[in-house]
Amino acid sequence: MGALATGLVVAIGGVVHASTYDQLVRVDVDGVVTEVRTESDSVADLLDEKNVTVAATDKVSPAPVTELDDGDVVKVRRAKAVTLVVDGKISQRTVHDVDVAGALDTLGVEPKEGAVFSMAPDERLSRDGNSVVVSNPKAVTLKVDGEKKTLTTAAPTVHSLLEQHGVEVGKLDEVKPGLGSYLKPRQALRVVRIKKVTRTEKIPVDHKVTYSSDPSLFKGDTEVVKEGRDGLDRAKVELILADGKLRERRVISRNSVRPPVTGVVKRGTKAKPAPETPDSSIDGGVWDRIAKCESGGNWSINTGNGYYGGLQFSLATWRSVGGPGYPHEQSKATQIKYAKILQARSGWGQWSCAAKVGIR
């Protein structure tokens, strides 16, 4: 009788053991639910038994140390990286939600009516990373082809906006901000039409001037020995036009049409004499009377007939008495100075007006 009783106890003990540790639970991993029987004592043991690996960033409910009871539901929510873009504002977030709608709710994003999504709200999130773009209707300005207009759009990017409004962008055209940029409220957009134009132009080439010293000329005076002349090149030029305005000009190639001619000029080195003291012959005297007759009293006149200054020197005569430059470019005192030299050498007959004003 004692032996039988002992056997019953063992049997009963065995039954009790089976009913205690063979429990029916559900394991929910990111919304995928599996119903399992287990002899595990705790949530952690169950996950280990079912080869469910849990990272430190994942969430487990109830906590891994919790003892299991029949009918328990163990939830595992994987950590998921989300690049969130809401109306052009970008942030990097981590969520444990199963789908996009859950993530937006967790992150406090409330899309407006008419919003555009890069992922459908019921789309499952990936453990490998997610890009969730929410673009609400917003006002932006667009300037293109000389026209500026305000648009209301839910397009997420500049590219999608331009496509939406039928704006074609050429290979050379510039879009500011770039085509891939996310749209922000009240953003100003611009499409700049870029055009390359190639044409042939004539380009002047500056000539050089060489100088030599001449002791027969006064310091500061010069004499042109050989006139210089600019050259001319024919060039192939590329023009970059931005909305019709020249932005850049680049010479591709050039050939000489006419080479430049180097000018030769003498520079005086002789010291100038001390200035003369004005006298009556300079101020209101005989030379003023001759000048009034010769040039109307205009000491800086160039008549164009080969005679210069108040006393109408020819250039050859002027230079024969050592006059610098051109007579009409010199002061009244300088013109009279060299007139005196000429008068002393050749007399008053050098000026036809001398006789007219009573000078012999």
Q: How many CB atoms lie within 10 A of CB 198?
A: 10
Domain ranges of the chain: 34-77, 80-135, 138-192, 200-268, 278-356
Q: How many CB atoms lie within 10 A of CB 161?
A: 21
In degrees, to the nearest 5, what angle opens at C-alpha 232 toward C-alphas 231 and 238?
A: 140
Q: Which residue has the higher pLDDT, 282 or 31?
A: 31
Distance CA 156, CA 81 (A): 21
Give the confidence band of 124 by pLDDT, cuts at 50, 70, 90.
very high
Record the tokens describing residue 3, joined without a space: 């032996």
* Percent of the chain residues past pLDDT 90, beyond the cut: 78
* Percent of the chain residues past pLDDT 70, beyond the cut: 91
Torsion of CA 166, 171, 173, 179, to 10 degrees: 60
> Do the domains at 80-135 and 200-268 have one common CATH topology?
no
CA 66 to chain centre: 63
Give the confidence band of 254 by pLDDT, cuts at 50, 70, 90.
very high
pLDDT value for 277: 45
Distance CA 29, CA 327 (A): 107
Give the least confident one: 63-77, 92-106, 129-143, 301-315.
Answer: 301-315
- Of 326, 360, 339, 222, nearest in space to 291 by CA: 339
Strands, E assignment, the chain = 23-29, 32-38, 59-61, 73-77, 80-86, 89-95, 116-117, 130-135, 138-144, 147-153, 174-176, 188-192, 194-205, 209-218, 222-226, 231-242, 245-258, 263-270, 307-308, 313-314
Task: Say yes or no: domain 80-135 is CATH 3.10.20.30.
Answer: yes
Distance CA 73, CA 275 (A): 118
Residue 210 CB partners (closer than 8 Å, separation 6+): 262, 263, 264, 265
Q: How many CB atoms lie within 10 A of CB 27?
A: 20
CA 193 to chain centre: 15
Q: Is the pLDDT of residue 178 over 50?
A: yes
Distance CA 9, CA 48 (A): 33
Q: How many CB atoms lie within 10 A of CB 315?
A: 14
Give the confidence band of 21 by pLDDT, cuts at 50, 70, 90.
low
Record the tokens describing residue 315, joined without a space: 């250039």
At 167, the amino acid letter reads: V
- Of 133, 86, 137, nearest in space to 114 by CA: 137
For 197-215, write each residue's pLDDT tens digit: 999 999 999 999 999 999 9
Peptide bond into 275 cis (omega under 30): no
Q: Which CATH architecture has domain 138-192?
A: Roll (3.10)
pTM of the shown model: 0.58
**Which bin fits 319, alpha (ψ -120 to 50), beta or left (φ > 0)?**
alpha
pLDDT value for 17: 41
pLDDT value for 19: 43
pLDDT value for 210: 95
Q: Is the pLDDT of residue 184 over 80?
A: yes
Distance CA 63, CA 326 (A): 109
Strands, E assignment, 243-321 = 245-258, 263-270, 307-308, 313-314
Distance CA 258, CA 165 (A): 54
Give the confidence band of 22 by pLDDT, cuts at 50, 70, 90.
confident
Q: Using a CB cutoff of 8 Å and minimum separation of 24, what contacts does 104-110 make?
A: 104/132, 104/134, 107/82, 109/84, 109/134
* Bridge partners for 73 per DSSP: 26
200-268: CATH, from 2.20.230.10, 3.20.20.140, 1.10.3720.10, 2.60.40.3880: 2.20.230.10
Q: Is the pLDDT of residue 13 over 90?
A: no
- Whole-number mean pLDDT of the chain? 89
- Mean pLDDT on 43-55: 94
Give the confidence band of 354 by pLDDT, cuts at 50, 70, 90.
confident
Q: Using a CB cutoff of 8 Å and minimum separation of 24, what contacts does 168-172 make?
A: 170/194, 172/196
Which of the given ranges, 4-8, 128-132, 293-297, has the highest pLDDT on average? 128-132
Q: Which CATH architecture has domain 278-356?
A: Orthogonal Bundle (1.10)
Give the confidence band of 3 by pLDDT, cuts at 50, 70, 90.
very low
